[in-house]
Structure 1
Amino acid sequence: MANDADQDDSACKGGRMHKHDTARQISFMQQALSQNRKPIGFFLGAGCPLSIRVNHREEGGNTVTDPLIWDVAGLTKVIAKALSSGNPKDPKSWDTIVQIAKEDGGESGNIEFLLSRIRVFASVAGSGNVRGLTKAELTTLDTEVCKVISQEVTRSLPTKDTPYHNLAIWSRSIRRERPVHIFTTNYDLLMEQALEESSAPYFDGFIGARKAFFDLGAVEDEGLLPPRWTRLLKIHGSLNWRLENETDVVRTDEKTDKQSYLIYPSHLKYDQSRKMPYLAMLDRLKAFLLAPSSLLFICGYSFADEHINDVICRSLEANPTAHVFACVFGELDSDNYKLARQCALSTPNLSLLGFDKAIIGRTLGNWTADGSDDLLLPPSILVKDGDNVILRLGDFAALGTLLRGLSGEGMSDVAA
């Protein structure tokens, strides 16, 4: 199967192309999203905050903006600037771990890989050192990295008219027999803000108000909770999750010396306390995809986490009635989406939707303009260029606009 996927993947740049009906795909998605009985979920990756632009300024006669929160590559550069000595002759711990990653052929420009490496080394260092770094140095570096991440990711949505709000409003727009599930690998609190500002009730696995505690039983028995409560499941942890006294997982805005951040960007876990929320969230993703006729919409995720990919693809293989629509930003043949293409080319019930092309039913093809004139859609979602069509659902802003239209509430109703 892998060889077939490699051969089919080469067609992205070759010219051997099928045609995919844009109108049919959008109509099916609209119909599915309008139902209240199907299990419907969303998976939001690091690309979603990039759709919200801030700090508008003029540079060289052009208007330049920054993303509300950087993606993994951008965040890694910020951390490097904060923690690197900038002097190869006098490296800091950060410089050392980056150099080790380069020597080992790892992703030295990916903070998720680097933080995983830091924690693996710390777990085996003991009273000695690993690759020239002591356990104390690695532990300190872990804390410094998480501190910078916290500073950079602690952002608020600038208005009440964002894609996050559109998703939140859609989630509470009709009375549901099955709860909406929102999975995310992001540490930020943007989804929480949008749900609360939109008066959309949700459950995130924690119980309490002052210092909420993680309730594994409630997460596993979520069927006892009201279906109108959206389930918010943060696979890689969150800014306001803390590990207290090395045993208790709590959610609080306070940060004391007795607490450590519970953010973990890899499947490598180091003790039971850190492992419990992570595995519980992954179990919920698996359980969701194994539910009959479940539909998962992915946005802002490039399939860079192979452990999550494995959960998605294996679950889809075991449940042919489930379907995943993975919407990616930009052209489908981008090198960033190699793993995504491999998953879609080997998984018939995983549709990968790029701006220019799609892989549907393991078949790669261009979008066609046939029937697109009959679709009543905002121009931000579907752009026609002669006989070509650009489908922009991989832009979280466009996906949010689609959801807002289905909710029946106008955009101006919540304008800041």
Structure 2
Amino acid sequence: MKNLTLLAGRQWPAEQGHSSILAAATQVNIIENGRCQRCGAFVSAKLPNGKLYCRACIGIGRAVEGNVLVRYLGHAEFPKQKNGGLTWSGHLTSQQEKISAGLVTNFLEKKNSLVHAVTGAGKTEMLFQLIAECMKNGQRACIATPRIDVVNELYPRFKAAFSEIKIGKYHGREFKEPDLDQLTICTTHQLLKFYQAFDLLVIDEVDSFPYVGDPQLHFGAKNAVKTSGVRVYLTATPTADLLEEVKQKKLRLLKLNRRFHGGLLPVPKEKFFLRPFLQKERLHSKLLSEIIKAVESGHPLLLFVPRIEQIPVYLAALRKEHRLQKAQVAGVYAADKQRLEKVAAFREQRLQILVTTTILERGVTFPHVWVIVVAADDAIYTTASLVQIAGRVGRAQHDPTGLVVYCYHQYTKNIKLAVRQIREMNR
């Protein structure tokens, strides 16, 4: 690599290359005292030669006992711009403006923030002034999120809003050489490749899998921020540990109970089923009725199922139904090689029904979408995920309502709490 400054704020195992920079970089044993210095995991797995290696972060290159982790803390300089490179000409509502101003104040005062805002509140737009404040001082920022789909959705929006800023996009499905981007948009896994790089780190959908409950990803996020840096967490469904940090005054809470268009959250319709949702490749008549209602209304439909192996079964049943013969249907899941293409086709309404797992429960916006959750009583659906799924509906200003259906055999605590939480936010 000719320009070594491109690696500023990054860390990597020495055997991955860039040997010309070693003399100018900090080097530590990648496994020290039985702990991986890249992800913080305690290491017990051994290679055939007896050396320890870290299984927790093996997806971004193997960390082996005796090898060196290189950290290049070279200074990254960016031009100072009066308006922070913000070229967005839109306007915030008065409620959004309060959150935006609070984020800027907290950043200037070096205080970490938790933004608790309902789905569809316009969290992305509320970040613009905060990012601009960081950019105009010649500082460096990162927006990280657990899901690839969310990265792909955020990137073009920030690219349009900050057309004068160099923005990098990084995730595991799309290889990109390291670059010195003033604004980085990436998955939370990618944060393991950074060390004290950012003055500002925003983690969107902080309660989402796989970030939530993963100590390695939390370790990586902490390491990616400078010691003088500021963190911002965004969520519609904050976890107990974040709320505890608010109580302890480690985080400043900024709360918004209304969507950007002022509309209410759609309250889910609860539908009890005595017989199976699908039997002998035929959909239950009540379920089929709801699906047909969505398709005939002209609304694209997200049909959530609990398991990947159920997707082809439901697709086959949908394609057999005479009244759905003209509907274009597809299924998608996390490891689907055509995942990005299918999501794009659904967004462009080239697909009328998309059968999906919880991979699309949050962080993505589809115009006019309606939602049906099959087996909402399945253990895979937490209260937070049910709230997030319902939040896909009614996000457009000119279409602020819509259908959300929870189908179940047993009325669970999670269904009850999800509906209660939505009603409370509406109040």
Band the TM-score falls in, shorter-chain normalisation: under 0.3
* TM-score after normalising by structure 1: 0.25
Of structures 1 and 2, the one scoring higher in RCO (CA 8 A, sep 6+) is: 1
Asked which structure has the greater CA Rg, the reply is 2
More helix by share: 1
